[in-house]
Amino acid sequence: MSGPAHAGYIRAVAAALEAAGVPVADWRADDGVPRDGWIPFDLARQVRLHGRPVWDHDQAGAGWSEEDGWHLLTVDDPGGRDIRVARPLNVATVAAPSSVARAVTGLAGIRHGGPATDSPGRDPSAGGFAVREVDADFAGRRAGTGDPAFEAALRRYSAGRTKCVDGWPDAAEGRG
């Protein structure tokens, strides 16, 4: 099984975040309706890398939905209240991985860097094979509708380097 069609895209964004100085713990792509993905940040490694808490929360990460695009999610759990705050990243629905990384580093107040994410046409997560990065917006997209252009935008990042996991039969995950 090759995993969800958007798994390569989520993996590419996780790699771009890593290259930009936002350590990720792992990533996940779920093939439900709507399809979505989650990239939790490695908060302990961020402190070691930047010398300060970048996301001063119990959890933080980037989430994606085929209908809503990218958002930053922070979670705090004082006294078991599970306070979640989602903030849109204001990038295209299928934004270039480097665009997502720039949006996240901008919110974090850290310098976006690394030639791997700043070089047009390079996908650092795919072992250096060329993927032309393009922001592709699909405003008003509804999950479950056939849209060849949307599927093609997701398939640009498919490299076959994802693995399926037990539990969710149509899910993929990996390490950042």
Q: What are 56-114's pLDDT values in tens digits?
A: 899 999 999 999 999 999 999 888 788 999 999 999 999 999 999 999 999 998 875 54
Residues paired with 27 in a beta bridge: 174
Residue pair 143/32 in contact by the 8 Å Cβ criterion: no
pLDDT at 24: 96
**Sheet strands side by side (includes 59-65):** 83-88, 69-76, 59-65, 36-40, 27-30, 171-174, 163-164
36/83 Cα distance (integer angstroms): 21
The pLDDT tens digits for 154-163 are 988 886 443 3
pTM summary value:
0.78
